[in-house]
Structure 1
Amino acid sequence: MDNDLRHTAIHEAGHAVIGRVLGMGCGYATIIADDDSAGHGIVGDPWQILGDWEQRERYRDASTVFHGRMMSFMAGALAEYEFFGTCEGGDGDDQWQIVMMAEDGAAVPKRSGIWEADRDRHIDRLRTRTAGLVRRHRGRIAKVADALAECGTLSSEEIDALIR
């Protein structure tokens, strides 16, 4: 397997594993390139996830699901750093998603005058927590990445079975 494909497999496995660890509704993952990306994984809509949690009587503040979603997006690049010491790029959409959730204010409450500094500190704290989760679940990430390298695409059910 070439190095770029291995980076992509680790990146997408990072999203898939950490999203599930955090209880996010996650779908399939692929390392098959399309017009927009070298691969991608599906992390559910935050409002749908919140609704699913409530149906299971798991009541949380809305910010919890946004934090989890932000951490899921962070996990791709952080998995690359954990495995290779570098990120090959390709996480521009992930970064955009993280900033958009922070800008929305659902994940980081806005306070006048100091919001941008608070937002950046908050994102840094989430990134530190996510890096810890990536280290803790490194074996699961490697297992999913190996399966992605072999199959190209894994369904939600296949990923769930691999990380049990």
Structure 2
Amino acid sequence: MKEEHYRADTLDITFDVTKTTLEATVKELCDKAEKMVRSGTVLLVLSDRNIAKDRLPVPAPMAVGAIQTRLVDQSLRCDANIIVETASARDPHHFAVLLGFGATAIYPYLAYETLGRLVDTHAIAKDYRTVMLNYRNGINKRLVQNHVQNGHLHHRLLPLLETV
């Protein structure tokens, strides 16, 4: 794999509330995302890891939706994947919302860190790998069930998806 074909760049979706507004931050994020994709970014990572007392996150669905819309409007959406690294995704509904707004992939770092601490403190009596796989499989299973219930996916396809 050539690195230039898979260039990844991270866009910080937190902002200093004493210096700017949410609206201005969202516009700036869209401008930066467009510029990054035009310059060759293929993996656009939206991250709220810089949350701090004076830095609030743009709600992940808002950031994803705004950037998705900008990239579509500029005919750039097919040129990049939107990966969301967020503390706000914990349950299947959060994942479904982010995917619905245009996320390609989601990394729920706070959920993984929390599960890791529960394993480390022996609050969960399983190994780290098993706990992470169980969490991920649970999220995926519920997302597929939602698609079937809403008519987006035929129930006969479920065995095929379970083998993947």
Q: Fold match, TM over 0.5?
A: no
Normalised by the size of structure 1, how large is the TM-score?
A: 0.29
Name the structure with the higher strand share.
2
